């Protein structure tokens, strides 16, 4: 299906209709304002036929009932089903019991003291979600433990960290879906060798009690000398970048406690339900997906800038970048043909207002063709929050409307659409909702583009070639 041609037809049919801006949509603390987009409500309503043509309702039902299949991997796509199941509830109970044993000192460090430091070691989907959560929920941390994140295959990162912590009192969480990820195994080898050299008398105890594995591959973890009681698993059918609601986020429970962790999960599940049960007209993920498709496939805007105007959300663009570009960065359709449509855009972002002092000059006056997602907090209870909100709306208005000056060099281009996504507050529940919102946006886009959003063969091939290159060196 040529989506651009479909959108042209919608535009032609609606050209004489009154230009009515899109209405603001709200769901339990999350608001979506699409009014700064170059589309009227009549065209937008017609766009919903793209969902019908691609059997969206049927595929969405399969997603929620564990019947959606990633054909190139010959397995189901289980992340939504899992996090709304009894299985996940039991897994939360399991990691909660482990967390409480550490917190209460029932599991001691190798020198008999309480554990006071947690290091999460992961990469990609095993890192971006937990790290974003850690930053976003800083105000909810109990401060019972200090926490750190390590992902680099360059050992300088872990080496620098080991110098400033008390390794004897540290819990190491190794998170890898397959537990074959090179970066994780290299970091583990470095830590193993460091302990063997510097703490030989404690090595066996540390490996048995202070090493934790989170993976789908329990047998491999056992073969790498992880104790069975310290291995936490989740289903293999969960794509790594969609594993944020799983034991992968154990470190976040250590940071914010059980109650706040469960509130985060509740937020995800509430947005899941909203996406599944709400009509297209008021459905936030569907509306956000369709406006993206309009910007990409009709307006030919291939750069999506995610700009969080909140320090707590400063790295949400990194998280969204992976779930969008790794999921929908595809050119082969589910019919095993090259697509005639543009799919995932280049997605990047920098926090506001820092972005205004770097690349926004190019956005306002350059030759780039971009569209924006501004994510901000509506709660204006401090001067700094009011300052951030004022800048969000100033930038969104200027990017959309432009500015004409009698001096050409002072004129601003305009015509850059923006979607404003606001949270009424930062909380575990709202962060869960915003994550689920973007996950379901990705699913909806994938359905319309008729691509598999849940494989990543480009990533896999790169790993294989890197191993071959390493053998040559």
| Residues assigned a catalytic role | 326, 357, 463
Tokens of 174: 């190794």
Cα distance between residue 268 and residue 283, in whole Å? 15
CA distances from 231 to 212, 219, 243, 360, 390 (A): 6, 10, 16, 46, 48
């Amino acid at each position: 299906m040529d989506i651009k041609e479909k959108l042209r037809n919608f535009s032609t049919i609606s050209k004489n209709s009154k230009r009515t801006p899109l209405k603001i949509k709200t769901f339990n603390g999350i608001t979506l304002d699409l009014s700064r987009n170059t589309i009227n409500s009549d065209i937008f309503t017609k766009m919903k036929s793209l969902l019908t043509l691609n059997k969206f309702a049927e595929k969405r039902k399969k997603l929620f009932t564990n019947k959606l299949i990633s054909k190139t991997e010959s397995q189901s796509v289980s992340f939504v089903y899992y996090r709304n199941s009894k299985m996940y509830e039991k897994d939360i109970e399991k990691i909660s019991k482990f967390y409480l044993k550490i917190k209460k000192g029932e599991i001691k460090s190798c020198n008999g003291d309480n554990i006071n430091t947690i290091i999460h070691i992961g990469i990609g989907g095993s890192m971006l979600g937990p790290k974003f959560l850690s930053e976003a929920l800083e105000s909810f941390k109990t401060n019972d433990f200090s926490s750190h994140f390590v992902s680099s295959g360059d050992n300088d990162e872990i080496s620098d960290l080991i110098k400033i912590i008390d390794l004897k009192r540290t819990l190491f969480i190794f998170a890898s879906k397959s537990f074959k990820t090179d970066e994780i195994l290299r970091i583990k080898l470095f830590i193993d060798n460091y302990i063997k050299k510097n703490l030989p008398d404690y090595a066996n105890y540390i490996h048995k009690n202070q090493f934790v594995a989170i993976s789908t591959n329990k047998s491999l973890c056992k073969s790498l000398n992880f104790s069975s009681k310290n291995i936490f698993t989740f289903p293999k059918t969960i794509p790594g970048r969609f594993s944020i609601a799983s034991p992968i986020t154990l470190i976040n429970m250590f940071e914010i406690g059980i109650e706040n962790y469960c509130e985060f999960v509740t937020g995800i599940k509430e947005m899941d339900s909203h996406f599944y049960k709400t009509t297209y007209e008021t459905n936030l993920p569907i509306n956000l997906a369709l406006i993206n498709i309009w910007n990409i496939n009709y307006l030919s805007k291939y750069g999506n800038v995610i700009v969080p105007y909140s320090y707590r959300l400063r790295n949400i663009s990194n998280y969204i970048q992976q779930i969008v570009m790794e999921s929908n960065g595809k050119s082969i359709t589910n019919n095993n043909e090259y697509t005639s449509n543009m799919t995932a855009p280049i997605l990047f972002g920098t926090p506001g207002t820092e972005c205004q002092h770097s690349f926004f000059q190019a956005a306002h006056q350059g030759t780039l063709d971009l569209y924006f997602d501004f994510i901000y907090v509506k709660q204006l209870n401090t001067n700094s929050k009011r300052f951030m909100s004022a800048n969000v709306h100033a930038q969104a208005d200027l990017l959309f409307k432009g500015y004409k000056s009698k001096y050409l060099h002072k004129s601003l281009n305009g015509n850059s659409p923006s979607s404003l996504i606001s949270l009424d507050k930062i909380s575990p529940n709202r962060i869960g909702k915003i994550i689920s919102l973007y996950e379901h946006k990705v699913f909806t886009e994938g359905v319309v583009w008729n691509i598999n959003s849940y494989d990543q063969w480009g990533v896999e091939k790169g790993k294989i070639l890197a191993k071959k290159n390493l053998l040559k060196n």
